Every structure is written in C-alpha cells, then in structure tokens.
Structure 1
Amino acid sequence: MGVNELSLIGVAIAVGLGAALLPVFVNAEVYVVAMGATVNSRPFLALLILIHVVATTIGKAFVFQLARRGTNKIRMIEPHPPRNAVSAWFRRIGQRLSRTRFFRWIKRINDWLLSLLDRPYSGGLTAFMSSLIGIPPLAIVTILAGASKQPQWVFLTTVFTGRLIQFLAIAFLLHKVSWF
C-alpha cells in the first residue's frame, strides 16, 4: 500500500467522522460520489466505503453518547418571525408545499418513525430507515435516540447496516462497484 492509498484511507476516516459530527457542513453521500470518481480500483473503493461507514458509525456513537448523557428532554422552539422579504417568501413556499398530499404523507411517515424511538427495540427501524434513505434526518434521529430508551448496540448496528447499503448502492449505481 502506497502513500496515496493511505492518504485516501485517512480522508475516508476524517470525512466519515466529520459527516457524523457536523452533518450540515460535511456530506457523506457527496464524498462517496467524489471518491468513486477519483479511485480506479473497484475493490479498493469498496474498502474505502467500508472504512468510511465505520468512521461514520463511530462518530454517530459519540453524538449518541453526548445526547444520552446530556439531556432527557427535547423542547420545541417557536419559529422567529422572518427577518426580511426573502425569508418570508421561502417560509410561504414551504407552508404551501407542506399542505400538498405528498408532503403530508412524508410527514406522517416521519412522525410515525420518530414515535418508534420511544420504544427500546422498534426504534431500530427508525435508525435504519434514517440511515438508508434520510427520512427522518439521521442527525436528528441520533440525538433523539440518545435521549430515548433505545439501546446503543441496536442504534449502531442499524446505522452501520443502513449506511453501508446506501453507500454501496451509490457506488454500484454510479461507479459499477460490486462485491463480485
């Protein structure tokens, strides 16, 4: 293994941890797409994806423990009034979209999945769906799961499995990576 491969492994670990801790600034899915465009070896790309998923899961375990030790109550915050005409326009558009049938269906599924987090083992379904398709967002699910009764091993197992399937599917569809 050369310096290039070791540096790609280090970047996979750094981006995985960064995506778990700062999901607004570091996107794990975009990294998988970019990684596939720069790596020529398909087996090495699959290995990088596996390392990236492990790093992401370790970062989510850290956030889970912070939420578990930090608070047991999540409070709702009232939205502030819009500061300017542009933000008021975006808010009106969002309110119109939220009244459509599709978004009401997504909201019902989202609310149902989040209600499962109160149950110790069926909350794993929420973590799996969140890590696989992103509904509800995994950053929110991680914090709520840490504050709930969900066992950490269930959460981490489902997050690892969902992220691995998602990233391998991205790599397979865009870069023809497979285990065979």
Structure 2
Amino acid sequence: MTASGVVGAVVFGLLSAYFPPLNAEIYAVAAPVIFPDLWVLHVSAMTGGLVVGKVTHFIAAEKGAEAFVKRREEKEARTAAKSRRPRGAVRERLARWSKSMIDVLDRPRLGPLVILASSGVGFPPLAVVTVAAGIKGISLTLFVVVTTIGCLARFLITSWLVVQGIQLDF
C-alpha cells in the first residue's frame, strides 16, 4: 500500500507539472488525511514528481529558446497592432512586478531568489519562471536545487498545517 501510494504521489506531482488544474497543493492538503503516519514521505515524493516535470519544461525551453524568442517577437508585434482592453490597476501592477522579477533571473544573487519565491510562494507563477529560467540559461542544477527546496517547504508547511488542524479537531 505504501509503495503504490508513493508511486501515485510521484505520478500526481508529474501530472500537476503538466496539467495546472491538477494542483499539487490539493495533494499536500489530502496527504496527512489519507496517510497520517507517512504524509512527509508522500508529500516529498509528490514534490519530486513535480520537480521532474518542471525540469522537462526547463530543458524544452532551454533547447527551444531561439524559436520561442522569434515567435514571441512576432506575437508581440501582432498584439501591439491590435487594441487591448484596459487592465485594472492591481492587475497591471502585478503584471509589471512579475515581469521585473523574471527579468532578473540571470543575475547571480537575485535569480535564485526569484526561483525560490516562485516555488515557495507561487508568485510569479512557477510555470512562467521555469520557462524563463530555461530561456535565460540558468544552471539546471541551480534550478533543480532551489525549486526543490521551495516546493518542498511550501508543501510540507501546507501539510503540517493540516496535521495541526486535525490535532486541534477542526
């Protein structure tokens, strides 16, 4: 039962990397309830699957960076020609802040902090940061280590909070 649960955790993490509606936080919330004695193992396995999935995105972005940049420039040229509907002030501010965070990914100290914030807090979105890090040529080792630390911390804290709620009988 434990082995199949751990394999299921890895598969869930992998699938959540490719299918965003299959949210990894759902697993982090459910693991302590389903596996009360082994939730740390299951959450860690799910995180491993998620990071492996993100690594495939990173590598694909790294290998296809030139084609991606070309398509992006063409799309931006077409979009600039069309009129855009106005955005709200908060949404515009978040978009500018997210873009400025992604722009510093290739800096030696700030880049890892952006990856850590993305994987640990979720802003800017990890899917966007993963692709941007691949395109900007960030070290794969650095990306894996920082992403694993951030995601693992986020999911373990989420699960731990559920355990605390269960113990308090909420």
Q: TM-score range by the shorter chain?
A: 0.7 to 0.9
Pick from 12, 21, 41 the counterpart of residue 15 of structure 1.
Answer: 12
Secondary structure of 2:104's counterpart equals helix
CA distance in 1, matches of 2:21, 2:93: 28
CA distance in 1, matches of 2:109, 2:14: 26
**Is there any run of 5+ residues in structure 1 with no aligned partner, and where?**
80-90
Using the size of structure 2 for normalisation, the TM-score is 0.80
Structure 1 match to 2:155? 167
Using the size of structure 1 for normalisation, the TM-score is 0.76
Instruction: Tell whether the 8 Å contact from 1:121 to 1:150 is kept in structure 2 after alignment.
Output: no
Structure 2 match to 1:126? 114
Instruction: Tell whether the 8 Å contact from 2:27 to 2:43 is kept in structure 1 after alignment.
Output: no
Structure 2 match to 1:31? 27
Identity of aligned residues (%): 28
Moved over 4 A (4+): none
Structure 1 match to 2:36? 40
Q: Larger deviation: 118-127 or 50-59?
A: 118-127
CA distance in 2, matches of 1:38, 1:62: 29
Cα distance change on mapping 1:104 and 1:25 into 2, 3 Å: closer
Instruction: Tell whether the 8 Å contact from 2:15 to 2:22 is kept in structure 1 after alignment.
Output: yes
> CA-atom RMSD, angstroms?
2.2
How many residue pairs match? The answer is 155
CA distance in 2, matches of 1:63, 1:176: 35
**Is there any run of 5+ residues in structure 2 with no aligned partner, and where?**
166-170
The offset of 1:104, in angstroms, is: 4.3
Amino acid at match of 1:162: G
Matches within 5 A, 1:75-94: 75=72, 77=75
The offset of 1:148, in angstroms, is: 0.7
